[in-house]
Amino acid sequence: MNSNLMTKWNKCLEIIRDNVSEAVFSTWFADIKPLKYEDNTLTIQVKSNFVYEFLEGNFVDLLRTTLFKVMGKGTQLMYSVLTDKDNNVSVELGTDSYDNKYRKNNENNAPKAAQETVQELDSMLINRYTFDNYVEGISNRLSRSVAASVADRPGRVFNPLFIHGASGVGKTHLVNAIGLKIKELHPELRVLYVSAHLFQVQYTDSILQKNFNDFMRFYQSIDVLIIDDIQEFAGLQKTQNAFFHIFNHLHLNGKQLIMTSDRSPAQLQGMEERLLTRFKWGMTAEIEKPDLDLRKNILRNKIHKDGLKFPEEVISFIAEHVNASIRDLEGIVVSIMAHSTINNADIDINLARRIIGDFSNYEKKTITIDEIIKKVAEFYGIEPSAINTRSRKREVVLVRQVSMFLAKKHLDMSTSKIGQYVGDRDHATVLHACKTITNLAETDKQFRSELEEIDMMLQSA
């Protein structure tokens, strides 16, 4: 480090120390390191994005005045923010005055999204998902009410809003309805709806194309950020880290955050504790599976919207036999209508019964990784939590391996995610477990019988 730079920075620290309390100085200034002074710009290193935002929000004038006094009038300030301490990865961010200059000089290299105005920004909202066609019932009444409040006063109530529930219960519809209503009531706000998967793809691309700063600037410019299926971040530590800093920036600046998940924050695995803590800061609302009355109303709404006519007894029959999700209900309506049109058949109970067919078993729950772990652990007589220990006892290892094998068989999950859920292992361990269980089932008749029994228990649950 340049000794002259260090001498000047120590003079800056002396001035700052005289103007703040000792506690403030030791907390926010003592660990700052001067990195370089080039082109009349001083770059200092801070430990996190939170420190950067705090300094900018509370002490930027003190810093600027001090730099002018020690290093000369017009000195610009640049922050090097550590985003990955283990690999010494940092992001450079500037003060407001510097950012204006930086954006102008890099205008041609910025992604299109970062240059768009409020009107031009593609919110990526699904226009057909509105409050007007969101059918309300007991299972979603609380979530619907909270959503309406957020749409009316974004950033001021229930922030963040975390909505969870099983697949197909209407989470995506509800958060899109919030976004569309906010755009209607508050057209000046930048609203963005994005799936967790797309966010991950964008983050990866920003690293590969070396425009991570632009990625962060774009997301930190959003007023209402809606992330769908945030459980997809499980096990993706660097993506979680980027989102953590975006979350902090938006929340500290009173911007609205809305997230959906197929499980509550308490049930999310493979997610950093600091993120889970923030998810619980605002309002957590569950959308339960629709009850019989709501299923009937959803069917009536779908039928009416499509200009169709179904006898009431057919509506009741469908609602009684198809109760897994709203998506399934609407799919059955489409199937019945298609068969009726193609075969020129009346829409009646017989047609509904024929189309639904084996749907009398539709109540069967979708198999989840939590259910797999629970069933396997129960079968072998151990506590499910034992798989998360470092125990190498034969029965614990067997439960881990069988759980991994069945998860790979039944779930559309990567081996890395399966490993995160089952004992926090890596993808190589999952592949080894699957191979081990396959070999054991082929050579051990008794074990093969046990495996088949567990499999049947899962599918009949």
CB atoms within 10 A of CB 9: 22
| The CA-based dihedral angle spanning residues 299, 305, 311, 313, taken in that order and rounded to the nearest 10 degrees | 10
User: Position of tokens 């749409």?
Assistant: 151
369-459 maps to which CATH number?
1.10.1750.10
pTM of the complete model:
0.52
pLDDT in 10s for each residue of the chain, 461 residues: 578 899 999 999 999 888 877 877 887 888 899 999 988 899 998 887 767 777 877 788 788 889 998 998 888 888 887 765 555 556 677 664 333 333 333 333 334 443 344 546 889 998 889 998 888 888 788 899 999 999 999 998 889 999 998 877 889 999 999 999 999 999 999 999 999 989 998 999 999 988 899 999 999 999 999 999 999 898 888 999 999 999 999 998 889 999 999 888 888 888 889 899 899 888 898 888 777 888 888 888 888 777 778 888 888 888 877 766 777 777 788 778 777 777 777 888 888 887 776 444 444 446 788 889 999 999 999 999 888 888 888 889 999 999 999 988 888 777 788 888 888 888 888 888 988 998 888 788 788 888 888 987 886 65
Helix, strand, coil share of the chain (percent; to 5): 60, 10, 30
Which residues in 377-420 belong to E strands, given as ranges?
Answer: none
292-361 maps to which CATH number?
1.10.8.60
The overall longest dimension of the chain from CA atoms, in Å, is 89
Q: For strand 41-46 and strand 33-38, is the pairing parallel, antiparallel, or unpaired?
A: antiparallel
The full set of domain ranges for the chain reads: 3-98, 141-286, 292-361, 369-459
3-98 maps to which CATH number?
3.30.300.180
Superfamily of the domain at 141-286? P-loop containing nucleotide triphosphate hydrolases (3.40.50.300)
Contact between residue 33 and residue 5 where contact means Cβ atoms under 8 Å apart: no
